[in-house]
Structure 1
Amino acid sequence: MAIDKPYLDIPGTTVFDAAQSRKGYWLNQFCMSLMRADNRERFLGNEPAYLDEWEMTAAQKQSVLDRDMNAMIALGGNIYFLAKIGATDGKSFQQMAGSMTGMSEDEYRAMMIGGGRSIDGNRHVGEAP
């Protein structure tokens, strides 16, 4: 029996649920490995070789190499795990979030201080404004 997931039609939103968790298990495990300094050094020394040690899909590996946070989330990545990649690269969470929205860090910060994204266009698909 399929589970009803009414949250799947929110524009621009990927909810990290059990299905996403299963899809991204190895991607998220890779991210957690970056908590150790020796693993960060190995990863930065030869990213493709380090990624090949993990049972990730080719698309997941490529999304890491491209640092495409939106693709990583779509492929099962959890933002709290993915933050380890940003930290490994010396990036702040604001820089990472800005990259996901097409904004600079300063633009992202100003948007959030100003109250966040407008609700317009961010309701359920088909919901009246």
Structure 2
Amino acid sequence: MESHSHDYHIDIPGTTVFDGRMAMKGYALNKMCYDFNRAENREAFKADPEGWMEKYGLRDAQRQAIRDNDILAMIEEGGNIYYLAKLAGIFKLSVQDVGGLQTGRTTEEFKQFLASQA
């Protein structure tokens, strides 16, 4: 029986595809964000973001993306939007704000786009 490799990467221009490679790249970032499901962890992060990032072993590029409040860079660094939503909330960004960033729209334009798709 012949073995087939399923090691491929989908290239969608302008889109960061969250696949196995990106899951591995973003594991520490996503683990940290998952822990933001608890309010006390969100508060601890706000009190000491550098210490919190150190605790989870984030890579330099991930730390810089967080310092810059740059959700798109976090996605490029392996962040999964479902986990990043909690971190975005700490930055006072809604899921619609992030959707606008991802699509090059303002939040209001993104909301109108979503409404037009219904």
Q: TM-score, length-normalised on structure 2?
A: 0.84
Amino acid at match of 1:5: Y
Answer 1 or 2: higher relative contact order, Cα 8 Å, separation at least 6. Answer: 1
Q: After the TM superposition, which of the residue ranges 40-49 and 84-93 deviates more from structure 2? A: 84-93
Aligned twin of 2:72:
70
User: Alignment RMSD, CA only?
Assistant: 2.1
What per-residue deviation string (whole Å, max 9, x for no partner) do you get for residues 66-97 of structure 1? 12111111111111011011222333210122
Q: Distance in 1 between matches of 2:9 and 2:67?
A: 32
* Aligned residue number for residue 98 of structure 2: 96
Structure 1: distance between partners of 2:93 and 2:61: 23
Cα distance in 2 between the residues matched to 1:14 and 1:2: 22
The count of aligned residue pairs is: 115
Taking a change above 3 Å as real, the CA distance of residues 71 and 2 of structure 1, as seen in their structure-2 partners, is farther
Contact in 1 for aligned 2:22/2:77 (Cα 8 Å): yes
Structure-2 residue corresponding to 1:61: 63
- Aligned match of 1:38 in 37, 40, 46? 40
For structure 1, the residue ranges without an aligned partner over 5 or more in a row are 116-129
Matches within 5 A, 1:1-129: 3-5=6-8, 7=10, 9-115=11-117
The 2-side partners of 1:87 and 1:102 are apart by: 20
Displacement, 1:53? 1.1
Q: Deviations over 1:40-72 (max 9, x none)?
A: 111111212221111110001111121211111
More helix by share: 2
Structure 2's unaligned 5+ residue stretches are: none
Q: Contact conserved, 1:34 with 1:40, CA < 8 A, in 2?
A: yes
Q: Is the 1:34–1:88 Cα contact (8 Å) retained in structure 2?
A: no
SS at 2:65's partner residue? helix
SS of aligned partner of 1:43: helix
Q: Which amino acid aligns with 1:41?
A: E
